[in-house]
Amino acid sequence: MLKVTVSGILAIAIIFPGLMFASPEEEIKEAVSHCKELARKNLDQSAGTDQDELLR
């Protein structure tokens, strides 16, 4: 059982190294950056749209 547990942890560490070593601050910064990018794309797409149309 111990071998299976250790093997599983090593497999996760190899496949997803970011899960093992990323700090919460880095994860938050990445999420904020992603949200900002989506907001910019949304604003760019609705730039020429009338405000009343956006509120519908």
In a domain, 14, yes or no: no
Q: How many domains, in total, are found in the chain? A: 1
Integer Cα distance of 48 and 30 in angstroms: 29
In a domain, 31, yes or no: yes
Range of the domain at 43: 23-48
In a domain, 8, yes or no: no
In a domain, 39, yes or no: yes
pLDDT in tens, 1-54: 677 788 877 777 777 666 656 677 887 888 888 888 888 887 777 777 666 665
In a domain, 2, yes or no: no
pTM of the model: 0.45
In a domain, 43, yes or no: yes
49: exposed, middle or buried (C-beta count within 10 Å: 0-12, 13-18, 19+)? exposed
In a domain, 42, yes or no: yes
In a domain, 12, yes or no: no
Position 19, amino acid: L
The helix, strand and coil proportions of the chain, stated in percent and rounded to the nearest 5, come to 80, 0, 20
Integer Cα distance of 35 and 38 in angstroms: 5
